[in-house]
Amino acid sequence: MDRYGTDVLAGDWKVPKRGRAVETPADHGLVVEEVTTDWCGEIVAVDRDLHTVTLEDRRGKRRTFPLGTGFLLEGKPVILTPPVTKAAPARPTRTASGSIAVHDAKARVARASRIFVEGRHDAELVEKVWGDDLRIEGVVVEYLGGVDDLADHLRDFKPGPNRRVGVLVDHLVAGSKESRIAQGIMKSPVGKDVLIVGHPFIDIWQAVKPDRLGFKEWPKVPKGIDWKKGTCQQLGWPHRDQADIARAWKHVLGGVRGFQDLDPQLLGRVEELIDFVTAPGS
């Protein structure tokens, strides 16, 4: 017996107890644990641009983490990578707004009536959630740069009984400039064929439920600071220039799968506009 014949350093003696981390696609439905916080949850969203993954725990709460190292899968370390693109899943039975999906239906010839939406991000959100429904109904959504331009738009459009206009306005609260403009138009000769509604949010981003993005509530940004930049700063998101803000909005919009991810105060207003412009004879 050679009691000195065994080399204790032979082999991979530095290997961790749980093994070495291996790359694993961050596929939806995979349950992983983030080691620094012990947060365990199902993967519900992956943002390729921000390189983040969102986990939802058994209570329905969500948190967002950077992709990469620091995760356990069935007790073994993994390096989460963006998921591999898969074949298209079975077509959904409902639209993002909750309506019954009508597959392969041709868009209806556009009605004369219109919906104007103030703000580019607002229009993109309306399109994402209600786009399928609006195409079936033949309703065209037009981007409105600002409520100050509304009177000019209506003068050119010439609303009437068969040319109704619904308008979604940003941050429409009592006593504001926006509310005074809206009241003036509603009292004008075209007012009976125009419906102006608004949401109470400072910015349409706030209509997205914050837990869908991994935090409890939207930050409170002091007056005098640009709301979007201030929000990104407090959330730890890049906010140096407009490109950063655009990427942040893409991340926010990416957290919206359908109506269930939006505040009811916005849902009701949009549905009210759709009913108004699709009423018989409009």
CATH number at residue 198: 3.40.50.2300
160: in domain: yes
Whether 219 and 144 share a structural domain: no
Q: Does residue 132 have a pLDDT over 90? A: no
Of 115, 96, 122, 116, residue with least CA distance to 205: 122
Write the CA distances from 161 to 102, 145, 183, 189, integer angstroms: 29, 25, 19, 12
- Backbone φ, ψ for residue 22 (5° rounding): -120, 150
193-205 confidence digits (pLDDT tens): 999 998 889 999 9
In a domain, 2, yes or no: no
Residue 63 belongs to a domain:
yes
Q: What percent of the chain has pLDDT over 70?
A: 84
> 165 and 70 share a domain?
no
pTM summary value: 0.61
Strand partners, 71: 34, 78
Q: How many domains does the chain have?
A: 3
Note whether 127 and 222 are same-domain residues: no
Q: Are residues 114 and 199 in the same domain?
A: yes
Tokens of 119: 């703000």
pLDDT for 256-281, tens place per residue? 999 999 999 999 999 999 999 988 76
Q: Round to whole Å and give the CA distance between 116 and 137.
A: 16
Q: How far is C-alpha 105 from the chain's CA centre? A: 26
Pair (221, 276) in one structural domain: no
Q: Is residue 179 part of a domain?
A: yes
Residue where one domain finishes, among candidates 81, 96, 126: 81
Same domain for 153 and 261, yes or no, is yes
Q: Is residue 122 domain-shared with residue 49, that is, in the same domain? A: no
Same domain, 276 and 264: yes
130 and 155 both lie in a single domain = yes
Distance, in Å, from the CA atom of 268 to the CA atom of 10, rounded to the nearest integer, reads 69
Angstrom distance (rounded) from CA 131 to CA 259? 12
**Per the domain annotation, does 4 fall within a domain?**
no
Q: What's the domain range around 47?
A: 22-81
Hey, what's the torsion of the CAs at 254, 259, 265, 267, to 10 degrees?
120
How far are the Cα atoms of 86, 111, 116, 210, 232 from residue 220, in angstroms, in the given order?
39, 41, 29, 13, 11
CATH number at residue 30: 2.30.30
Mean pLDDT score across all residues of the chain: 86
- Tell me which of 93-102, 106-115, 127-136, 215-224 is least confident: 93-102
Residue 98 pLDDT exceeds 70: no
In a domain, 191, yes or no: yes
